[in-house]
Structure 1
Amino acid sequence: MLYPNVEIVQRYPGNPILTPSDMPVAASGIYNSGVVRHNGRYVMLCRVESIDISNYFFVATSDDGYHFTVSPQPIPLPQDEAYRKYTDEMIYDPRITPLEGRYYITFAAHSSYGVRIALMSTQDFETFEWMGFISEPDNRNGVLFPEKIEGLYARLDRPLLQNDQGDIWVSYSPDLIFWGRSECVATHGKHGTWHWQKIGAGAAPIKTDQGWLVIFHAVHILARYHYVYHLGAMLLDPENPARVIARANAPILSPREPYERVGLTSNVAFTSGAVVEDDGEVKIYYGGADTVQCVATARLEDLIRACFER
Structure 2
Amino acid sequence: MSAPRFPLGPFTPYAENPILRPRGESWESGNLYNPAAIVEDDRVLLLYRAHADDIVSHVGLASSSDGYHFEREDQPILSPEHDYESHGCEDPRVTKINGTYYLTYTGYDGVTAQLCLATSTDLHTWTKYGPILPQGFDTFGPVTGHTGRTWSKAGVIYPEKINGTYFMYFGEGAIFYATSDDLIHWTPCPNDQPIHAPTPGEWDQSLVEIGAPPVLSDDGLMIFMINGAQPGETTRVDYRCGQIAVALNEPTQVIAKMTRPWLRPQTDEELEGLVSNVTFVEGLVWFKDRWLAYYGQSDTTLAVAEYVPGRDSYKF
User: What TM-score range do you get, normalising by the shorter chain?
Assistant: 0.7 to 0.9
Three-state SS of the structure 2 residue aligned to 1:21 is: coil
**How big is the shift at 1:28?**
1.1
Check 1:246–1:60 CA distance in 2 against 1; reply closer, same or farther (3 A cut).
Answer: same
Matched, 1:169 2:182: no
The separation in 1 between residues aligned to 2:71 and 2:107, in whole angstroms, is 26
Tell me which protein shows more helix as a share of its residues: 1
Check 1:55–1:99 CA distance in 2 against 1; reply closer, same or farther (3 A cut).
Answer: same
Matched, 1:277 2:287: yes
Three-state SS of the structure 1 residue aligned to 2:23 is: helix
The separation in 2 between residues aligned to 1:301 and 1:176, in whole angstroms, is 36
Check 1:197–1:103 CA distance in 2 against 1; reply closer, same or farther (3 A cut).
Answer: same
Matched, 1:129 2:117: no
What is the alpha-carbon root mean square deviation over aligned residues?
2.3
**How big is the shift at 1:175?**
2.2
Asked if 1 retains the 8 angstrom alpha-carbon contact of 2:44 and 2:64, the reply is yes
Q: In structure 2, what is the equivalent of residue 155 of structure 1? A: 168
The separation in 1 between residues aligned to 2:85 and 2:232, in whole angstroms, is 31
Three-state SS of the structure 1 residue aligned to 2:16 is: coil
**How big is the shift at 1:222?**
2.7
Q: In structure 1, what is the equivalent of residue 142 of structure 2? A: none
Asked if 2 retains the 8 angstrom alpha-carbon contact of 1:146 and 1:205, the reply is no
Unaligned runs of 5+ in 2: 1-8, 135-149
Asked if 2 retains the 8 angstrom alpha-carbon contact of 1:61 and 1:70, the reply is yes
The separation in 2 between residues aligned to 1:181 and 1:239, in whole angstroms, is 19
**How big is the shift at 1:67?**
0.7
What pairs up with 1:90-129 in 2 under 5 angstroms? 90-112=88-110, 114-129=112-127
TM-score, structure 1 length as denominator?
0.85
What pairs up with 1:131-280 in 2 under 5 angstroms? 131-136=129-134, 137-158=150-171, 166-180=173-187, 182=189, 183-190=193-200, 192-210=201-219, 211-222=221-232, 226-277=236-287, 279=289
Asked if 1 retains the 8 angstrom alpha-carbon contact of 2:176 and 2:188, the reply is no
Tell me which protein shows more strand as a share of its residues: 1
Q: In structure 2, what is the equivalent of residue 29 of structure 1? A: 31
**How big is the shift at 1:235?**
1.8
Q: In structure 1, what is the equivalent of residue 18 of structure 2? A: 16
Unaligned runs of 5+ in 1: 1-6, 160-165, 304-310
**How big is the shift at 1:138?**
1.0
Fraction of identical pairs, as percent:
30
Higher mean C-alpha deviation, range 99-108 or range 19-28: 19-28
The separation in 2 between residues aligned to 1:215 and 1:263, in whole angstroms, is 23
Higher mean C-alpha deviation, range 111-120 or range 245-254: 111-120
The separation in 2 between residues aligned to 1:148 and 1:51, in whole angstroms, is 41
**How big is the shift at 1:180?**
2.4
Structure 1 consecutive aligned stretches of length 4 or more whose deviation exceeds 4 Å: 22-26, 299-303
Asked if 2 retains the 8 angstrom alpha-carbon contact of 1:44 and 1:60, the reply is yes
TM-score, structure 2 length as denominator?
0.83
Three-state SS of the structure 1 residue aligned to 2:194 is: strand
Three-state SS of the structure 2 residue aligned to 1:72 is: coil
Three-state SS of the structure 2 residue aligned to 1:130 is: strand
Asked if 2 retains the 8 angstrom alpha-carbon contact of 1:8 and 1:302, the reply is no
The separation in 2 between residues aligned to 1:23 and 1:215, in whole angstroms, is 33
Task: Write the letter of the residue equivalent to 1:177.
Answer: I
Task: Write the letter of the residue equivalent to 2:87.
Answer: E
